């Protein structure tokens, strides 16, 4: 075997932000961590996403050494929520929670580069351009079959943490991936408007699908849920087509929409594992759940998974200890189910277009807006989880 077969305390599969945070937390606790990542180390990251992170998520990354003060990001100070064609709106502000900001928007490649540098500083060993073919949990350790550029091999660990897209999770005993295809896609595009963002993020429940405008430098990043056919049409159309449709759906709060940049399209589906632990394997991030981007909760939930696992194993001699892993799974259950249920429920709630449904939705948003305790509680759940 050409892969170094040394036994690690913890092997993490998936080097995205969630896996990287888990690796940094475990390394800081003195664990011997090995990270397996399918991407080549020097490969350019061609990912158009701008990530909306809550202030709590930003602080978790900073505390782990992955978010230097100079990292390029755009602050979110206010979130404006409304629906097209009906009254009622809610405005969440950083003052509601007495925070410097409600969140930040950062480009995926920028955050990934920062976390990679942090992993190197922390001495985390990374197997780049490597893929885990199978995982098997045994009584005293877990075994992974991996493929690397040098060839196949085996790794062992006291705990395996899956932080990848979830393909391996479905092969674990007792784990089932429940799924729902929204038959929708997210259209992403940078846009500029007549007025600058000034720290305001918008969530707009438009007639043709919910859209978010995230402050992104001097402009915004658009995330618009559309039917699959509409998404492809908008991706391939002239800029003027997207601008006209977005202006009609969003209105004039930012003045005229001036430009729209290149579009990317991502299919949307809900996937959730029925359990977070199988033997000596734990699931976090996308391995545990993927969800609709409405309210921008997916990555924030995954980062809380990583932090929750590290917290549950703090001071535990064997990171694969069944009791400690049961504590992790139990602690994450409420947050995960609440957030998944909330995002899925929003899509269901705002899918109806009857006058009565619109009136009820508007009344709900107005109630949030005029009742400060309720608004603060809602904002707190979005920033800190449940």
Q: Could you give the dihedral angle defined by the CA atoms of residues 281, 334, 59 and 91, in that order, rounded to the nearest 10 degrees?
A: 150
* pLDDT at site 379: 77
Cα–Cα dist 203/189, whole Å: 15
Cα 11 from Cα 278, distance rounded (Å): 15
User: Residue 89's pLDDT is what?
Assistant: 81
Q: Which two tokens stand for residue 333?
A: 């259950």
pLDDT at 167: 85
Q: What is the pLDDT of residue 235?
A: 96
DSSP H helix total and E strand total for the chain: 10, 20
Q: What's the confidence (pLDDT) of residue 354? A: 63
* C-alpha to C-alpha distance for 8 and 141, rounded to whole angstroms: 10
pLDDT computed for residue 351 by the predictor:
64
pLDDT of residue 238: 96
Residues in the chain: 386
Q: What are phi and psi of 378, to 5 degrees?
A: -65, -45
Mean pLDDT by groups of 10 residues along the chain of 386 residues: 66 96 97 95 82 96 96 96 80 92 96 96 95 94 94 94 89 91 93 96 90 96 95 96 96 96 93 95 95 83 96 96 97 88 72 65 70 76 71
Beta strands in 242-380 (DSSP E): 257-260, 264-273, 277-278, 281-283, 289-290
What domains appear along the chain, each with residue ranges and CATH number? 7-75+106-178+269-349 (3.50.50.60)
Residue 83 confidence (pLDDT): 84
Q: Please give the angle made by the CA atoms of 91, 186 and 231, to the nearest 5 degrees.
A: 125
Gap between the Cα atoms of 313 and 293, Å rounded: 30
CA-CA distances (angstroms) from residue 240 to 191, 202, 259, 375? 12, 21, 8, 37
* Whole-number Å distance between alpha carbons of 105 and 223: 13
């Amino acid at each position: 075997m050409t892969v170094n077969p040394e036994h690690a305390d913890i092997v993490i599969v998936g080097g995205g932000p969630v896996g990287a945070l888990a690796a940094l937390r475990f390394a800081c606790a003195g664990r011997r961590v090995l990270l397996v990542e399918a991407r080549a180390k020097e490969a350019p990251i061609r990912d158009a996403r701008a990530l909306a992170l809550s202030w709590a998520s930003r602080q978790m990354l900073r505390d782990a050494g992955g978010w230097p003060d100079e990292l390029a990001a755009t602050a979110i100070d206010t979130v404006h929520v409304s629906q097209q064609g009906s009254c009622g709106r809610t405005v969440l502000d950083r003052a509601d929670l007495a925070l410097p900001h409600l969140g930040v928007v950062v480009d995926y490649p920028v955050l990934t580069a920062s976390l990679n540098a942090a992993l190197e500083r922390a001495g985390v060993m990374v197997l780049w351009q490597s893929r885990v073919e199978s995982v098997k949990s045994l009584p005293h350790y877990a075994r992974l079959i991996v493929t690397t550029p040098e060839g196949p091999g085996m790794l062992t660990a006291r705990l395996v943490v899956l932080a990848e897209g979830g393909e391996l999770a479905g092969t674990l005993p007792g784990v089932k991936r429940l799924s729902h295809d929204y038959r929708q896609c997210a259209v992403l595009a940078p846009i500029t408007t007549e007025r600058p963002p000034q720290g305001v993020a918008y969530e707009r429940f438009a007639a043709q699908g919910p859209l978010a405008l995230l402050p992104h430098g001097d402009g915004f990043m658009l995330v618009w849920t559309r039917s699959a056919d509409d998404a492809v049409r908008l991706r391939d159309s002239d800029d003027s087509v997207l601008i006209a449709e977005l202006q009609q759906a969003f209105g004039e709060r930012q003045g005229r929409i001036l430009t729209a940049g290149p579009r990317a399209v991502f299919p949307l589906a809900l996937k959730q594992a029925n359990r977070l632990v199988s033997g000596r394997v734990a699931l976090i991030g996308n391995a545990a759940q993927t969800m609709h981007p409405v309210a921008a909760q997916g990555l924030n939930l995954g980062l809380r998974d990583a932090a929750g696992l590290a917290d549950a194993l703090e001071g535990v001699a064997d990171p694969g200890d069944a009791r400690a892993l049961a504590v992790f799974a139990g602690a994450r259950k409420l947050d995960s189910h609440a957030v998944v249920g909330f995002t899925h429920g929003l899509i269901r709630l705002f899918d109806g277009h009857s006058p009565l449904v619109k009136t009820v939705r508007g009344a709900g948003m107005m109630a949030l807006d005029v009742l400060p305790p309720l608004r603060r509680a809602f904002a707190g759940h979005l920033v800190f989880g449940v």
